[in-house]
Amino acid sequence: MQALVLAGGEGTRLRPLTLSVPKPVMPLAGRPFLTFMLDWLAEHGVDEAILSCGFLSDDVERVLGHQHGSMTLRYVVETEPLGTAGPVRLANDRGLLAERFLVLNGDALTDIDVGAEIAQHERTGAAATLALIAVEDTTSYGVVPTAADGQVEAFLEKSPGPAPTNRINAGAYVLEREVVMRIPPDRAVSFEREVFPSMIGEGLYGYMAAGYWVDIGTPERYLEATYDLLADRVRSTLPPRDETGSLIGEGCITSGARIGPMSVLGRHCSVGDESIVERSVLLDTVRVGSDCLVTGAVLAEGVRVEDRARIEEMAIVGAGATVGADVRVAPGTKIEPGERVAIGERVE
Angle between helices 33-43 and 57-64 (to 10 degrees): 60
Q: How far apart are CA 124 and CA 106, in angstroms?
A: 26
Nearest to 141 by CA among 155, 158, 165: 158
Catalytic residue among 94, 158, 187, 340: 158
Check if the beta carbon of residue 206 is closer than 8 Å to that of residue 146. Answer: yes
Nearest to 244 by CA among 312, 220, 254: 254
* SS3 assignment, position 57: helix
Integer angstrom CA distances of residue 9 from 21, 56, 84: 12, 10, 10
Q: Give the distance, in angstroms, between the CA of residue 42 and the centroid of all CA atoms in the same chain.
A: 17
Check if the beta carbon of residue 111 is closer than 8 Å to that of residue 133. Answer: no
Q: Give the distance, in angstroms, between the CA of residue 338 and the centroid of all CA atoms in the same chain.
A: 24
Reported residue count of the chain is: 348
Nearest to 15 by CA among 282, 334, 342: 334
Q: How far apart are CA 95 and CA 23, in angstroms?
A: 27
**Active-site residue 23, yes or no?**
no
State the catalytic residues.
Answer: 158
